[in-house]
Amino acid sequence: MIKTSYIDAINQAMHEEMERDERVFLIGEDVGVYGGVFKATKGLLDRFGPERVIDSPISEVYIAGGSVGAAMVGMRPIAEIQFADFITPSMDQLIQQAAKVRYRTGGQWTCPMVVRVCCGGDVGGGLYHSQINEQWFFSQPGLQVILPSTPYDAKGLLKSAIRGEDPVIYFEHKRLYRWIKDEIPESEFTVPIGKAAIRKEGKDITIVAYGLMCHRSLEAISELEKEGVSVELIDMRTLLPWDRETIFESIKKTSKAVLVQESPKTGGVMAEISAAINEEIFDYLDAPVTRVCGLDVPAIPFAPPMERFFLPNKEKIVNVVKKVIEF
């Protein structure tokens, strides 16, 4: 075991998969000579050369479209979108092409590509460098959507994504890049796509979260435990497909649920999870399913006090959990 940061775990996964499979290549803005804007791709150009580590033009539609074409003829591209805020030009290629290849060809063609997307707030990035727009892709059958919260999962899920046969939107939360460190094996491992993780066991209430919000939830749980509240925390890890079994079994046990996401409340991932809970296991609930989310505003504010006001945090989660417990 070796202590590794979130961003180094991602870098390791790409090194290992490019060593393992010569079809794997990387394309994106500044991924080569510069080593990535956050240095997630450092060392890859030196090791694998410019034919497999490609510095692209500043064109997300080119990055995504070229990757779709390469994937369909047998390559395994890792496309980097430098910030989630700039993914919109690539949406036609990702939604109309990549997500539909297997379906429209009756399974004769697949599109094995990974789109790495740097996302998230709590970094003072302002409206064009802080978005987390996972909900745009969550509603698209044909895609897989991943957002890990730990270095172990960041590495293991990325390796699984690269080896899969379907297009994966792989979100990396920039706040976690160097803040979170974890002991991960030096030996080969992967993490299965579509399986949630129980981060903490409890009996009074279930919190479901992903990405940075898992860590904010753990901070809240530390406070709640001082008051005798036992909380079970489920880390979704994979958003599409999401792990109904693990989430439902936890809520059946605790009979109460709080769902936490960073992105705005309306139309978010947790809206669907809440609807599914109410439709499928309503009889197990002792209180309304409640969400803690970012605000429904056009973008995350730049000013630190306003950014803190926008984002879910320990205090907000604690307050909502208490209200649900007391219902």
Q: Which residues are catalytic?
A: 129
Q: Which two tokens stand for residue 311?
A: 């984002």
DSSP letter at 89 equals: G
- Cβ atoms within 10 Å of 208's Cβ, excluding its own: 31
Distance, CA of 269 to CA of 133 (rounded, Å)? 10
**All residues at 6 or more sequence positions from 246 whose CB lies less than 8 Å from its CB, including other chains:** 195, 196, 198, 234
Rounded-to-10 torsion of CA 55, 59, 65, 71? 20
- Who's near 283: CB < 8 A, 6+ residues apart? none
List all residues 6 or more positions away from 223 whose beta carbon is below 8 Å from its beta carbon: 314, 318
User: Which H or E element spans position 258?
Assistant: strand 257-264
DSSP string, 263-304: EESTT-HHHHHHHHHHHHSGGG-SS--EEEEE-SSSS--SSH
Q: Are 286 and 254 in contact (CB under 8 A)?
A: no
What is the β-pairing status of strands 197-200 and 231-235? antiparallel
Q: What phi, psi does 208 have (nearest 5°)? A: -115, 130
Any bridge partners for residue 81, and if so which? 117
Cα–Cα nearest to 31, from 43, 13, 17: 43
